[in-house]
């Protein structure tokens, strides 16, 4: 049995064609079904569609053999127990700082709202900036508007969400794409199942 954990939403949508090229096709549709475990065209392969931040945890503990998750989530999770053999180059975006449009640079201690607490801490420490990091679970854009923070750290794609909330992108922290991650024990025990899958993904990516 092979279990693949995939972040729901944008990453799942972008991963579907890649999985299809590797002849893994879900039978259940997560948009219409409430099932959390999706059957596929192979009896011994199933997909679990879960929150992005839970994917590394599932794979690390072996609840899933493989996972597809954004690099933003993986660097925040910081685990040595995962192999990351492949950049799938899907769901690309940028991890950035953003602040109210035309707001002056703040000198001294700043307040930063983000769900990427560890990554933000490392980033600002690396720049020698004193930052108080405020953990939020969503709607980061709201924080500067209501005076909760001076700026945010979030993933940005088109920038439309920032602009719609009177914010502008400032500094690029990191380019983000989704990665394939593999449980270390599974890589050894199920090598004959997993390696061909990695090879197929690699082939598909090379043809894109």
Q: Is 144 in the site for ligand AMP (CB under 6 A)?
A: no
Q: 53 - beta bridge partners?
A: none
Q: Is 30 in the site for ligand AMP (CB under 6 A)?
A: no
CA dihedral for 82, 84, 88, 90, sign (positive or negative): positive
Q: Is 88 in the site for ligand AMP (CB under 6 A)?
A: no
Give the x/- contact pattern for ligand AMP in 94-133, rule: CB under 6 A.
Answer: ----------------------------------------
Q: How many Å is the maximal CA-CA distance in the chain?
A: 59
Instruction: Please name the residue ranges forming H helices in 85-159.
Output: 117-126, 142-145
Q: Is 154 in the site for ligand AMP (CB under 6 A)?
A: yes
Q: Is 169 in the site for ligand AMP (CB under 6 A)?
A: no
**Stretch of 21-29, 105-113, 155-163, 185-193 lying at the interface with ligand AMP (CB under 6 A):** 155-163
Q: Is 13 in the site for ligand AMP (CB under 6 A)?
A: no
Instruction: Please name the residue ranges forming H helices in the chain.
Output: 10-21, 55-60, 71-77, 117-126, 142-145, 160-164, 184-189, 191-207
Q: Is 159 in the site for ligand AMP (CB under 6 A)?
A: yes
What is the nearest approach in angstroms of ligand AMP to the Cβ of residue 5?
16
Question: Which of 53, 57, 161, 200 is close enough to bind ligand AMP by CB under 6 A?
Answer: 161
Counting every residue written for the chain, the total comes to 208
Rounded to whole angstroms, the Cα distance separating 20 from 160 reads 31
Which of residues 13 and 199 has its CB atom nearest to ligand AMP in the complex? 13
Confirm if 141 and 15 have CB atoms less than 8 A apart: no
Q: Is 156 in the site for ligand AMP (CB under 6 A)?
A: yes
Pull the structure tokens for residue 188: 């050894």
Question: Which of 2, 59, 93, 131 is close enough to bind ligand AMP by CB under 6 A?
Answer: 93
Place of tokens 């000198």: 107
Question: Contact residues for ligand AMP (CB under 6 A)?
Answer: 10, 70, 91, 93, 154-161
């Amino acid at each position: 049995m092979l279990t693949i954990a995939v972040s729901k939403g944008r990453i799942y949508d972008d991963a579907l064609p890649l999985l299809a090229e590797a002849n893994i096709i879900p039978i259940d549709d997560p948009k219409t079904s409430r099932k959390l475990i999706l059957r596929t065209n192979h009896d011994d392969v199933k997909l679990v569609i879960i929150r992005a931040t839970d994917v590394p945890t599932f794979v690390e503990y072996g609840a899933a053999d493989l996972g597809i998750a954004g690099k933003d989530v993986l660097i925040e999770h910081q685990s040595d127990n995962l192999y990351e053999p492949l950049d799938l180059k899907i769901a690309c975006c940028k991890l950035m700082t953003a602040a109210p449009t035309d707001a002056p640079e703040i000198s001294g201690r700043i307040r930063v709202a983000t769900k990427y607490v560890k990554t933000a801490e490392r980033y600002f420490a690396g720049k020698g900036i004193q930052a108080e990091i405020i953990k939020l679970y969503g709607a980061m854009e709201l924080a500067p508007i209501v005076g909760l923070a001076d700026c945010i750290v979030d993933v940005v794609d088109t920038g439309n969400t920032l602009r719609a909330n009177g914010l502008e992108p400032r500094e690029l922290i990191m380019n983000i794409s989704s990665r394939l991650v593999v449980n270390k024990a599974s890589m050894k025990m199920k090598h004959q199942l997993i390696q061909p899958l990695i090879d197929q993904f690699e082939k598909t990516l090379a043809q894109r």
